[in-house]
Structure 1
């Protein structure tokens, strides 16, 4: 997870309050403001004088930064850094920190060598974009390729323990979690964003499926639904493939009547067990939800296909068949 610090030098009470509300990981302030700011929230507060900031204006500056990082020191690259020197430092260390003064600069820093810097220090010039910077760098997980899958079967299969994932976020139509019987074939299960005459919308909830199912998680990992806990971070995926992170607030595991949904993308087939209820929806190719009760053979729903092979949720190269 990338770290975001806000530098309030010269000090601004209003800017510090906004930074804390935005969810930054730490604040950099002049020494006399350290203790008062520490009393505002559980957040790292650093003294400006204790932060080593280097300007990259010559090759010697790059070498000094590399040497300090190798020695375990924390170094901040001052605004004005260029991509090539930062790439060189990233090739030698995973603890590179840079200053940024806009959302565009933050995006650039986060994308260098695809993995980006570990920490950004947001300067006061970017205070109006601070919420957007935190949202994009802390929550966005890039994009996932989704494909329309043709439904080949929908049938009741009796009772099973299903998992409702109640997040601490309000989700939108077309957003949900990728869940399936196999890590190689997962279905986009829409959050309960839609109203009907019997049940109010619960846009924080994904009725995700049976306890044994895989869920695609942040960091190219998977987990069994049953292993999720309050405080777990889950990957939220939109119909357009855009991803973000949500934190689990509560899990509800209950015995419910279940449906087996099977689908195919080309020659690849997959399945998922979902509760047999109108409020549980998959997502059509156009981004609209479709209830599993209304789902028919030949319908298309959004899925993700991947290569099978996971060990404790991590991708491995192995000959695995999941059925």
Structure 2
């Protein structure tokens, strides 16, 4: 899940607030929410804000075990901003292991890099106290690139067969993707293939690097919040997970979804005892990602080829991961 970036501007600075909004920060701490809202739509933490200090958000200065325990206790009521004079002395791991509502207070890009380096799945994000627009933009870029890293596996193609006509989903995002990037999609919630974005040149159509022709309407896609969604249910404003061939991920926003009837292919593959399948459009522009991290068209894939995917444990209930036995075929 993407970590949030809050910017502490209780010492007001309009230029810094503008930089925070334009850089994609998630919230601003301020003594007056109205003057933030005059600049743009963004969540505010203020007495008159979207989140209220002392009610929804708490602050703790970490000094010792007692203050650590206090932070954990307060996190049961709301988000907790934790600050310290030296993150190398009091590690975040102690807090992260006990709460997913901890926000690390940092003052510059170096502290932000250190905090992001230890912020694992359970942490909520960081709050930056710095009015330099350049620092705000740099830290925002760091946070946007700090998504979870997926452990990808190599799958051996077993068969690629025609699957008749059906409805497939093109996911047009508000971001440009690079070679090697795409969406994690699968017929079942236990395994996914990396479906490549339309970034490559083609004799028939121009590249559309904002698009992933992701598969048939019934398929699952991994979302930015760790849940899954049926491709047919995606809509403008949803946040999907984009993965690279090395497992690095980022969050992007869906701008449009196109569902159209097209000829389909059933791709079946296996990795050890795990089998997966995915129904994709039968077209040269639809590509998976090979073991060599290069895009390969579904019309060229043959049994024995290696492609990248992911194996998930447990099952899914309304998109949430659950530890129970679910049989999907």
Provide TM-score, normalisation by structure 1: 0.85
Q: Does 1:267 align with 2:273?
A: yes
1:155 to partner: Cα distance: 1.7
1:221-236 matched pairs, under 5 angstroms: 221-236=227-242
1:67 to partner: Cα distance: 6.8
2:104 aligned counterpart, secondary structure: strand
CA distance in 1, matches of 2:286, 2:180: 13
1:206 to partner: Cα distance: 0.5
CA distance in 1, matches of 2:302, 2:228: 28
* 1:290 to 1:317, Cα distance in 2 relative to 1, 3 A: same
Tell me the residue number matched to 1:186: 192
Tell me the residue number matched to 1:16: 17
Q: How many residues align?
A: 320
1:295 aligned counterpart, secondary structure: coil
CA distance in 1, matches of 2:251, 2:128: 21
1:175 to partner: Cα distance: 0.5
* 1:271 to 1:123, Cα distance in 2 relative to 1, 3 A: same
Kept in 2: contact 1:101–1:125 (CA 8 A): no
CA distance in 2, matches of 1:156, 1:47: 58
Tell me the residue number matched to 2:256: 250
Once the two structures are superposed, what CA deviation does each residue of 1:172-230 show, in whole Å capped at 9, x if it has no partner?
11100111112222111001111212201111111000111121223432222112122
CA distance in 2, matches of 1:252, 1:72: 39
CA distance in 1, matches of 2:293, 2:67: 50
1:82 to partner: Cα distance: 5.6
| Residue of structure 1 aligned with 2:111, choices 105, 128, 138 | 105
* 1:257 to 1:86, Cα distance in 2 relative to 1, 3 A: closer
Alignment RMSD, CA only?
A: 3.1
* 1:227 to 1:46, Cα distance in 2 relative to 1, 3 A: closer
* 1:78 to 1:305, Cα distance in 2 relative to 1, 3 A: closer
Q: Which runs of 5+ in 1 are unaligned?
A: none
Kept in 2: contact 1:167–1:247 (CA 8 A): yes
1:241 aligned counterpart, secondary structure: coil
Provide TM-score, normalisation by structure 2: 0.83
CA distance in 2, matches of 1:96, 1:303: 32
Kept in 1: contact 2:167–2:260 (CA 8 A): yes
* 1:199 to 1:93, Cα distance in 2 relative to 1, 3 A: closer
| Residue of structure 1 aligned with 2:222, choices 216, 220, 233 | 216
Tell me the residue number matched to 1:77: 83
1:1-323 matched pairs, under 5 angstroms: 2-8=3-9, 11-29=12-30, 35-45=34-44, 55-57=61-63, 62=68, 77=83, 79-80=85-86, 84=90, 94-110=100-116, 112=118, 114-115=120-121, 117-124=123-130, 127-138=133-144, 140-323=146-329
Higher-Rg member (1/2): 1
Q: Which protein has the bigger helix share?
A: 1
CA distance in 2, matches of 1:76, 1:182: 40
Kept in 1: contact 2:33–2:44 (CA 8 A): yes
1:243 to partner: Cα distance: 0.8
Kept in 2: contact 1:236–1:245 (CA 8 A): yes
Q: Which runs of 5+ in 2 are unaligned?
A: none
CA distance in 2, matches of 1:294, 1:65: 55
* 1:262 to 1:100, Cα distance in 2 relative to 1, 3 A: same
* 1:192 to 1:231, Cα distance in 2 relative to 1, 3 A: same
CA distance in 2, matches of 1:59, 1:213: 47
CA distance in 2, matches of 1:70, 1:244: 28
